[in-house]
Amino acid sequence: MADINPLLPVSSSDGSSNLTGQATCRRPIKVVVSIFFGLLTVGLFAALLIRNNGPVDYVDVHENERGSLASTAFEKAENLKPVSRGPAAGVSEKSNWAFGGDLPDYPWNNSMLSWQRTAFHFQPEKNWMNDPNGPLFYKGWYHFFYQYNPNAPVWGDIVWGHAVSKDLIHWLHLPLAMVADQWYDKNGVWTGSATILHDGKIVMLYTGSTTEGVQVQNLAYPADQNDPLLVHWVKYPRNPVLVPPPGIGPNDFRDPTTAWLTSEGKWRITIGSKINKTGIALVYDTKDFINYEMLDGLLHAVPGTGMWECVDFFPVSETENNGLETSINGHGIKHVVKASLDDDRHDYYAIGTYNDRNGTWIPDRPNIDVGIGLRYDYGIYYAAKTFYDQNKKRRVLWGWIGESDSEAADVKKGWASVQSIPRTILFDKKTGTHLLQWPVEEIDSLRLKSKEFNQVRIQAGSVVPLDIDSATQLDIIAEFKIDSDALDKATGSSDASFDCVTSGGAAERGALGPFGLLVLADERLSEQTPVYFYMTKGSDGNLKTFFCNDQSRSSKASDVDKHIYGSLVPVLRGENLSIRILVDHSIIESFGQGGRTVITSRVYPTKAIHGAAKVFLFNNATELNVTASLKTWQMNSAFIQPYPNL
């Protein structure tokens, strides 16, 4: 029989479970509200800043005006609006993309749909998946739990899937870890996090949606802590351990973090919420993961950002190139707060200073605070979660990559969503403002045949084909050197106001860009996905560099998203421009400048698939010649199958 008290010593409590909750407050909720209004005043300036990368209209591509990338004009795609899934249940929108409009489904055939399934990204055998949950390393195995619908390739009936790996690349599916079988999680076993205690035991906190649709926090733990596979899980019999506090809506209280130790020896967690339109992170202390004390203040709050989901909080070193265990604090340590914004479904982060005494965090730069500044990823990437990998002393980031085709296509192919390649995450010591994300080193084990292309001169307005045998599973590392004379001669222009998202994409020519690679392109360039840099020079002579991904001509299909993604990327003096691209069928993960800016996209070509997929270098600038050197590897498929005999 599983031990029902596997945790730290339990303080005196009758253990009764009801919706009055188990948390105590140091002061009434009015104190929190007072602090909230104080933060509202302080954050007024931040709330007035312009939010990056909002939804934009599709872009027409015109013939004969676009230099090297001119091709058959695409009909402007009206936007598609699938059935809404998620908000009515109290979580963010889970439909593939909800931009409005009404389009007929594209006539996908089985060859096209089967090609879309990835070869080395994690995904279940079938059906729907979303948020990563409770990742950890335990007794020689990496464990990955995830939001899963075992019944259909659309969101709903959410339980916890579970898989294990020795290397974060090859995975074995295990039986479901937790299902929706109690009153406190009957409407869904939602997102949660794992904590490894002093004695090596594991506890898992997760959000459940009750029979009445109230979001509550629940405790679970392995039935056998000696089982390295952690196959069986037990829910604490007196769940829930936390309910929404006074002043917090029943649908605005979710996604507990991994716990960290305070200087007083207590465990501390934070939970996402909102007050009106201000996103907040509530803070709780506990000694036993059963009884909780809510702190007077908030970890952080940002006006105008809406509901904070999947909050993450972790330390980064200002001096070392390794990850840090979640409880580490002190000299030379910064802390990251990340929130997934329910309103726009993007993951934002900021770097700042944590006060252990009162449980608050302050951003280093308020103008790039959580929700109004930097993002983990400027493409399709959400609900990310990190864990500390004590096996290799690194912090590893997981993120959910949703679909951007039609729901009808997902139903036909029988699956929806994948996870990103796990990424290491470090503080960027050079900029002091960014994090650096990079695919875990284990992905290199899938590299097969390589080819190098050195000092390839790309004239302004030209496209250069690359002789690569197969281009649907690739790892590409490229570096670009710029003609310095052209940079000196370039004059400031209206290009200084350039933005990837609102531009005309890679077909829009400027003096200093765009230039980069075309991936998943057919031979005639009727389908192509450019990953590229675009440089601008202001009237003050200062250069800005943007890192972009253009989906506007990625597919002939009419029922897929064709947005243009990207953002500014810092390029420091003496640095060449660099890109790493992982192509895995319908996923493209792109890392600019060593991972300062990252873009993940889902593309659904109809022609540039199987052996017809090609790679090109391109330079669509008008005044700039570029020299590129790159190395490409064919990528093997990962082994992702059910665990034998389970």
Domain boundary among 439, 461, 494: 439
Q: Tens digit of pLDDT for each residue in 582-632?
A: 999 999 999 999 999 999 999 999 999 999 999 999 999 998 999 999 999
Query: Per-residue confidence at 305, pLDDT binned at 50, 70, 90?
Result: very high
- pLDDT at site 250: 97
Check whether 53 has a pLDDT greater than 80: no
pLDDT given at position 234:
98
15: confidence class by pLDDT, cuts 50, 70, 90:
very low
HEC profile of 495-538: HHHCCCCCCCHHHCCECCECEEEEEEECCCCCCCEEEEEEEEEC
Q: Looking at the predicted structure, is the pLDDT value of residue 536 above 60?
A: yes
Residue 125 within a domain: no
Same domain, 316 and 389: yes
Separation between Cα atoms, residue 456 and residue 626, nearest integer Å: 8
263-296 exposure pattern, b = at least 16 Cβ within 10 A, e = fewer: eeebbbbbbbbbbeebbbbbbbbbbbbbbbbbbb
Give the global pTM.
0.89
Q: Are residues 392 and 501 in the same domain?
A: no
Q: Are residues 483 and 435 in the same domain?
A: no
Mean of the pLDDT values across residues 181-200? 97
Of the pLDDT bands very low, low, confident and very high (cuts 50, 70, 90), residue 71 is: very low
Beta bridge partners of 192: 206
Residue 80 lies in a domain: no
Mean pLDDT of 56-80: 39
Assign 59 a pLDDT band (cuts: 50, 70, 90).
very low
Mean pLDDT computed over 217-223: 98
Range with lowest mean pLDDT among 89-93, 193-197, 205-209, 373-377: 89-93
* Structural domain of 588: 447-635
Rg, C-alpha atoms of the chain: 24
Specify the 3-state DSSP secondary structure of 408.
helix
Of residues 204, 282, 313, 260, the one with CA closest to residue 21: 282
Torsion of CA 33, 38, 40, 43, to 10 degrees: -150
342, 265, 285, 266: which is closest to 310 by C-alpha? 342
pLDDT value of position 17 = 44
Domain membership of residue 59 (yes or no) is no
Q: 481 and 371, same structural domain?
A: no
Angle at 423 between CA 255 and CA 616, to 5 degrees: 125
Cα 482 to Cα 455, 465, 564, 577, distances in angstroms: 12, 20, 24, 8
Our answer to whether residue 343 is catalytic in this structure is no
CB atoms within 10 A of CB 48: 10
pLDDT of residue 491: 72
Q: Are residues 465 and 589 in the same domain?
A: yes
pLDDT at residue 541 in the model: 83
Residue 421 shares a structural domain with residue 463:
no
Residue 75 has pLDDT above 90, yes or no: no
Quote the pLDDT of residue 46: 43
State the CATH number of the domain containing residue 356: 2.115.10.20
Task: For residue 557, name the pLDDT band (cuts at 50, 70, 90).
Answer: very high
**The domain boundary residue, chosen from 389, 419, 439:** 439
The dihedral region occupied by 36, where left means phi > 0, alpha psi between -120 and 50, and beta the remainder, is: alpha
Candidate from 3-7, 123-127, 459-463, 639-643 with smallest mean pLDDT:
3-7
Confidence of residue 22 (pLDDT cuts 50, 70, 90): low
pLDDT for 33 = 46
Answer whether residue 276 is part of any domain: yes
pLDDT computed for residue 94 by the predictor = 62
Q: Residue 55 domain-assigned?
A: no
510/588 same-domain check: yes
* Ramachandran assignment for 39, one of left (phi > 0), alpha (psi -120 to 50 degrees), beta (any other): alpha
Question: Annotated catalytic residue: which of 60, 131, 296, 410?
Answer: 131
How many domains are contained in the chain?
2
pLDDT reported for residue 51: 41
How confident is the model at residue 74, as a pLDDT?
A: 38
Return the percentage of the chain with pLDDT > 70, whole number: 85
